[in-house]
Amino acid sequence: MFVPEATTPSFKDFTLILPAIAVGNVGQLAVDLMVSTLGMKRVGYMHTDCLVPMVGPNPYSTSAENAGELHTTAEVYTDAEKKLAVLQIRSPIIQSRSRKFRKLLVSWIKASEFSQTVVLSSSHAYQRDDQQLKGTLLRYLVTPAMQKASGAALSELGWMEMEKVSPFPGLVDASAEPRLSIPGGGITKGLFTEGCDEELCLAVVLVFCSEGDNIPDAFTLVNHLNDWLLLVGNDKQGPEKWKIPSSWKLLFGNSHPLSIF
């Protein structure tokens, strides 16, 4: 599945960040901000039949010379200095292959010996229960292996763990066990569950949101992640510390032609 661009890179002890295709595409937007801001270099492709094919010109172009470079559906970028690797996924997972894709991801993560994996995701804001309606929109989940490694750091940050919810909201049933539910999260729950089963050091960081202009949600998520991983210095505040990629223009289509007036 992973095909290197040139020589096979070593990911041993790297932190891997990947998005889940989820409501508002917030994880993918957040990954775009990271790759663009840190000037990360592409080191390979995820070549798989599990994703809808798409290609385009360089979404992180900085000059006319590199604007025409071809980029594909799923690519891996690294920042060797920060020991950071990022997998960007740009198109939907073919529905009948979602389990296969999760398994491919998990086996690649294990084989590459990443020290930890962070899945950036989102969940439908409208499906929050009464408790979740209060306070922060951000949540996290950690596998037992990650809890041992970074649980204390996340507690110190005051992050809120994703609550388990009743399987039948509104119905009082003492026998119904609360369960993990991430509506709109795509493969997030499945990936987290498999991460627990495979003893991966994996965390999920997600934001509750709705479909619309999800750029502010992306900034919220990436700033929250930055509080933990310190990817970008905190000398600049707000959106200025992140560089918006060139691919974000015309996100909602062309504006109206002036010739109609």
Partner 1 sequence: MATFFGEVLSVYSRAVEDEEDDNDEDEDILKELDENREVLLQWYDSRHLMPCTNLIIAVGKNAASFVSVYVLSSASWEAVGHASLSNPNPCGPASAEPVCVFYRNKDTPAVIVCKISGYIEEDQQFQWTEKVFGCVQQDGLRVTVLSDGPVAEYKNTDFSCSSSSLFLRCLETKSSTIKPPCPLLEQPNIFTGIPAAVLSHCQVHQIPTVAYQCYSDAISPDSITMETYKLAFTTVGDIKVCPLPSADTIHKLVQTNQIQSNLYI
Instruction: Using the minimum distance from each CB to partner 1, give the nearer residue, 82 or 100.
Output: 100
Residue 184 Cβ, how far from partner 1 at the closest point, in Å? 5
Element (DSSP H or E) covering residue 78: strand 74-79
Q: State how far the Cα of 99 lies from the Cα of 105, in Å rounded to an integer.
A: 10
Shorter beta-carbon distance to partner 1: residue 70 or 171: 70
Which residue has tokens 């996340």? Answer: 154
CB proximity list for 205: less than 8 A, separation 6 or greater: 118, 119, 120, 121, 138, 139, 140, 221, 224, 225
CB nearer partner 1, residue 71 or residue 139: 71
Closest separation in Å from C-beta 196 to partner 1: 14
Residue 252 Cβ, how far from partner 1 at the closest point, in Å? 10
> Which of 52/80 has CB closer to partner 1?
52
Q: How far is the CB of 180 from partner 1 (least distance, A)?
A: 11
Residue 140: how many other CB atoms lie within 10 Å: 19
Pick from 85, 92, 96, 95: which is nearest to 42 by CA?
85
Least distance to partner 1 from the beta carbon of 131, Å? 20
Q: Binding residues for partner 1, per CB under 8 A?
A: 3, 21-25, 45, 47-49, 52-59, 61, 67-70, 72-73, 92, 94-99, 124, 126, 183-187, 189-190, 210-211, 246-251, 253-255, 257-259
Cβ closer to partner 1: 20 or 231?
A: 20
CB 246 within 8 A of CB 59: yes
Least Cβ distance, residue 8 to partner 1 (angstroms): 14
Least Cα distance to 24 among 253, 195, 183 occurs for: 183
**Rounded Cα gap, residues 17 and 116, in angstroms:** 9
Residue type for position 47: H
Q: Nearer Cβ to partner 1, position 53 or 135?
A: 53
